[in-house]
Structure 1
Amino acid sequence: MVVCGPTASGKSGLALALAQRLHAPILSADSRQVYCHFDIGTAKPTAAERQWVPHYLIDICKPTETLTVADFQDQAKALIQRFQCQEIVPLLVGGTGLYIKSIVRGMRIPRVPPQPELRSQLAYLGQQLCYELLRSVDPASIQKIHPNDGVRTLRALEVFYTTGLPMSAQQGESPPTYPILQIGLDCLEPTEPSRDSLTERIRIRTHQMVKQGFVAEVEALCARYGKDLSLLKTLGYQEMCQHLAGELSLEEAIAQTTLHTRQFAKRQRTWFRADPTIEWFDADHPDLLEQVWQRIQIFLENIGSKA
């Protein structure tokens, strides 16, 4: 089962309640919670919450390392298979759409780790020439990559020159054979911007993070890994780094984090809404837990009847 949706929509709280009822573990599908020491700014489950319910795929990578989608997929699939052998249905919970899609749709991902030296050599040629190179070696990928998309162009060339095969020939989907229920959690789109409850949730959570010691966390990370660490340029951490550098007041950093998180949530909404198999529930509904629980009961009964 999956619990997904935009940031601050209440996924973690709902998942904890469901996991306790189901006696099920939670598999995190968050691309930043996989990294150690990035805790408050990623809204990582607390130590107490991890005692209540076993959590997996959290703190599995050093901040100086890179966990690819393929790496995540391998570890998540292995855990799911393990729990299935124990007749346990785990909960895949998070807002990283690509992580969830890699499991639900069974994406076939080229197992090619980043090649910094090769990327540097290709980038030196310029995007226009790289795009023409890609057209000659992998014309199918050209149909999906914009001429100005340097990141995806380099990745496609990287895969080709590393494996000798076009990336388009190594992609596709092999959906899992087991049934999947996807629960989408979101706040209803407001008729007036001032009544957007998701924005209010984001604002409250950002203030809570600061009260929990977010600034001190960022300061410690800068001291330990240096200010150029790529993860420190991500949502929330970048704004707090600017505050520590004297570029923003704390109030301005909080306001910028809230704004940028809202923009990020909008992109998440767009991603998840494109999947017609997700069943949506109103995060603000007073009987949310019971509504979702009833749907899960039907899902489990259907699985049992087909067993």
Structure 2
Amino acid sequence: MGQPTLTAIVGPTAVGKTALAVALARRVGGEIVSADSRQIYRQMDIGTAKPSAEELAAAPHHLVDIRDPDEEFSLATYQDLALAAIADIVARGRAPLLVGGTGQYLAALLEGWQIPRVPPQPALRADLERQAAELGAGALHARLAEVDPAAAAQIAPTNLRRVIRALEVYMVSGETISAQQTRVPPPYAIRTIWLQRDREEIYRRADARVDAMLAAGLADEVAGLRARGYGWELPSMSSLGYIQLRPFLEGEASLEACAERLKFDTHSFIRRQGAWFRRLPNLEAWEPEGEGWTELGG
């Protein structure tokens, strides 16, 4: 008996992943495991384009609405939860469908990243940030090159966040981050369906989605989150669809101007997503409404 199949449905924002995934799940007895770094958050529904109530009812979904906006959620945590959900789905004789557009989540799971289990160290990070402010980011990068030349070769000196993380892992665990970042692919036959459309069509769909979000009350959703004490510095609140409305909520710009900024930033995000998708294993390019997509479960 061969390995069970894990089908990943990936693609840029607004390409049509959710609708196709729900239809496929219903056809093959599947369950959807989200690979979206923002749909994990409760109370953030409109700006994250969460599946609708109808879609959630049509197929079981995992890793949606599992954290509050101010709760920490790491890549390692995502990987652990997603692999556990997939294993549970397979054990029950169902078909796992990994669906989303967060490239790092997808790559970590499908490529089998072995992520260092060193939790963030706020005090240490603050100290390293102070050193960078005093001595320059290059000084920290040089320090990393001394203890972990392999990591330093892969991280630009200007990427202070990654330099600090690599130093943090070494200083806490005594092992280099490069030694810990090996690859052990998951025990599944992976099939990665990359949904594609004409770039201008995706932009039009993304713009229409922004308009629909605003009409559905996105500004009120963001204002409500702020009223409940969630600050702009949180990863959840600084994400696409939320931070762009800050000037409007603070009386510095019109809603129309913020909407245009959100559309512009969404287009930029769509362009960046492709770099992640190209690296995923066993890629097949599909058009969401193209002939034959229903053969995916055959």
The answer on whether the counterparts of 2:32 and 2:60 sit within 8 Å (CA) in structure 1 is yes
User: Is 2:198 the counterpart of 1:197?
Assistant: no
The answer on whether the counterparts of 1:232 and 1:241 sit within 8 Å (CA) in structure 2 is no
Please state whether the residue corresponding to 2:33 is helix, strand or coil.
strand
Tell which has more relative contact order, 1 or 2 (C-alpha 8 A, sep 6+).
2
- Alignment match of 2:143 (pick from 101, 113, 133): 133
Equivalent AA in structure 2 for residue 37 of structure 1: Q
The answer on whether the counterparts of 2:69 and 2:230 sit within 8 Å (CA) in structure 1 is no
The answer on whether the counterparts of 2:40 and 2:67 sit within 8 Å (CA) in structure 1 is yes
- Alignment match of 2:56 (pick from 45, 50, 69): 50
- Alignment match of 2:196 (pick from 186, 191, 199): 186
Larger helix fraction of residues:
1
Give the corresponding residue for 2:89. 83
Give the corresponding residue for 1:304. none
2: distance between equivalents of 1:49 and 1:253?
29
Give the corresponding residue for 1:302. none
Give the corresponding residue for 1:213. 217
User: Is 2:47 the counterpart of 1:41?
Assistant: yes
TM-score (norm 1): 0.90
The answer on whether the counterparts of 1:9 and 1:201 sit within 8 Å (CA) in structure 2 is yes
User: Is 2:135 the counterpart of 1:122?
Assistant: no
Give the corresponding residue for 1:265. 270
2: distance between equivalents of 1:10 and 1:270?
19
Give the corresponding residue for 2:173. 163
Please state whether the residue corresponding to 1:232 is helix, strand or coil.
coil
Please state whether the residue corresponding to 2:171 is helix, strand or coil.
helix
Please state whether the residue corresponding to 1:279 is helix, strand or coil.
strand
The answer on whether the counterparts of 1:123 and 1:130 sit within 8 Å (CA) in structure 2 is no
Please state whether the residue corresponding to 2:272 is helix, strand or coil.
helix
Please state whether the residue corresponding to 1:119 is helix, strand or coil.
helix
Equivalent AA in structure 1 for residue 248 of structure 2: H
The answer on whether the counterparts of 2:31 and 2:60 sit within 8 Å (CA) in structure 1 is yes
Report the CA distance between 1:150 and its aligned residue. Answer: 0.5
Report the CA distance between 1:276 and its aligned residue. Answer: 6.1
Q: Deviations over 1:158-207 (max 9, x none)?
A: 10111111111111100123201111112134xxxxxx101100110000
- Alignment match of 1:252 (pick from 249, 257, 261): 257
The answer on whether the counterparts of 2:69 and 2:237 sit within 8 Å (CA) in structure 1 is no
Please state whether the residue corresponding to 1:143 is helix, strand or coil.
helix
Q: Deviations over 1:207-248 (max 9, x none)?
A: 000111111100100100244342222212111121111222
User: Is 2:294 the counterpart of 1:293?
Assistant: yes
Give the corresponding residue for 1:300. none
Percent identity reads 40
User: Is 2:65 the counterpart of 1:59?
Assistant: yes
2: distance between equivalents of 1:53 and 1:124?
48
- Alignment match of 1:22 (pick from 8, 28, 48): 28
TM-score (norm 2): 0.93
Report the CA distance between 1:47 and its aligned residue. Answer: 2.2
For the aligned residue pairs, the C-alpha RMSD in angstroms reads 1.4
Please state whether the residue corresponding to 1:62 is helix, strand or coil.
coil
Report the CA distance between 1:35 and its aligned residue. Answer: 1.2
1: distance between equivalents of 2:123 and 2:156?
24
Please state whether the residue corresponding to 2:228 is helix, strand or coil.
helix
Give unpaired runs (5+ residues) of structure 2: 1-6
Equivalent AA in structure 1 for residue 101 of structure 2: G
Equivalent AA in structure 1 for residue 287 of structure 2: D
